[in-house]
Amino acid sequence: MIFTSQVFLFWFLPAVLLGYYLLPFRFRSLFLTLVSYVFYGWWRVDFVLLMLVSTVIDFICGRRIGRFNEQIDVGVAADEQVVFDRKRKRAMLFSICANLSLLGYFKYWNFGIDTLNVMLGAAGFTAVRWTDIVLPVGISFYTFQSLSYSIDVYRRQAPAVRRFVDFACYISLFPQLVAGPIVRYQTLAAELVFRTHTWEKISRGAFLFQIGFAKKILLADSFATIADGAFAIDGPTTYQAWLGSFAYAMQIYFDFSGYSDMAIGLGALFGFGFPINFDSPYKSQSITEFWRRWHISLSTWLRDYLYVPLGGNRRGKVRTYINLMLTMLLGGLWHGAAMTFILWGAYQGAFLAIERIVGKRSLYPALPKQLQIALTFVIVLGGWVLFRAVSVGQAGEFLSAMAGFGGDADAAALVLSSRQVGGCILGAAIVWLLPNSQQLAESRWSLPQIVVSAAFVVAIAQIFVSSYSPFLYFQF
């Protein structure tokens, strides 16, 4: 089930909202947990069991860590404290190993077998036969979210959950279950126990859901047609390569920020305050700034649970650059088991390291602000080519064409209609000239409300005539 489907919009969401507000508060978290499992099980019921196993493991580990924390806090002998601390660490490591094992098996087994078969074939050996593993939707997101809880309880940055239903609700909340934001437990801890429901919060949530819905249907899906057409061309011209990379940059932005808007909006409808995940990233003047604005929940997760534990910037300049590269390489691998994602991570890490050398700022500070933004966007486009390409060869072909060494593809293979041209202009205006969704939601003007409501109605009409279009980040 997806947010933009008729089943979700006209049946699931109204029924869940009605049931939620009719129930006494003490039953609402349990109700949300059950309907979230229905939402997730819409694809495959067996994947619900996988998420439940992960939830049970981390709940038990968190309770165990919390119990040892309490025993240490009340005051024990030094030798007992060492024992308790060792047991705390074992529980945390068990949680980490269990979660990463599940994620590794389902997400990277196929990639590992394919890589092994390439090596075996090159050596003249018979390939290993294996049935492909199906990747559970959203496993990367809820695994990272669940992992952050165990680690934060160990670090004493979050309390251990007392009730299993609260933790199950936290892990399975359907608004942000399959594509984020990645929410830390301490962010929702108080709201899992008690949360307020006001008309102001509900209206803001409805507005964000509408704007995210319109982003996805009217903009992201339109840009997807252009991007898919460009990346299907063999030997694209320079024009086709630039147009395709621009279209994909717009597609992934409106697709993922649209989902995040809907997730935050839905969370508000049920009384939860999810953190923002996008802050006008294409207005960045450097790649360092870009990663403060793009997929904020992932970039902060990578910083706090990978970069800092690796040593961060505390072990000298060379180690800092190595840590940045390792963090972004792993961030690229988190997105998918393919060499293109690894190269994308290396590409991002290299620019972050270079900017760190010059003081975590733009590489072209003397240029006017708008030109800095434009050059940073060009760098981002190069990364999106690696991210979108189906192979390293196609990425190289596209980047070569963008550098002026275009192929000899038919110029008629990618001709935009007047409607598509208008869509490109509108998308660029929204990205660079208008306030972002959060700013509009805080605005007291009535015009944005009217425009967004009209766009939402048009988008609803569109889903009746368009084909199924899942969110891009569902595949991660």
- Catalytically active residues are 335
195, 440 contact by CB (below 8 A): no
Which of 188, 175, 192, 152 lies closest to 58, judged by CA?
152
End-to-end CA separation in angstroms for the chain: 16
Q: Which two tokens stand for residue 338?
A: 């393919």
Residues 6+ apart with CB under 8 A from 61: 91, 92, 94, 95, 150
C-alpha–C-alpha distance, residues 293 and 436, integer Å: 12
DSSP 59-77: HHHHHHHHHHHHHHHT---
189, 149 contact by CB (below 8 A): no
Which of 207, 214, 204, 182 lies closest to 271, judged by CA?
204
Which of 155, 423, 80, 123 lies closest to 308, judged by CA?
155
C-alpha–C-alpha distance, residues 170 and 161, integer Å: 10
Q: Which helix (H) or strand (E) holds 335?
A: helix 317-335
Give, as one character, the DSSP assignment of residue 391.
S
Which of 373, 331, 330, 380 lies closest to 351, judged by CA?
380
CA dihedral sign, ordered 303, 304, 306, 309: positive
C-alpha–C-alpha distance, residues 199 and 126, integer Å: 65
Q: Which helix (H) or strand (E) holds 331?
A: helix 317-335
Q: Which helix (H) or strand (E) holds 55?
A: helix 45-73
CA 28 to chain centre: 27
Helices H / strands E in the chain, number of each: 20, 0
Which of 208, 266, 248, 269 lies closest to 384, judged by CA?
248
CA 368 to chain centre: 32
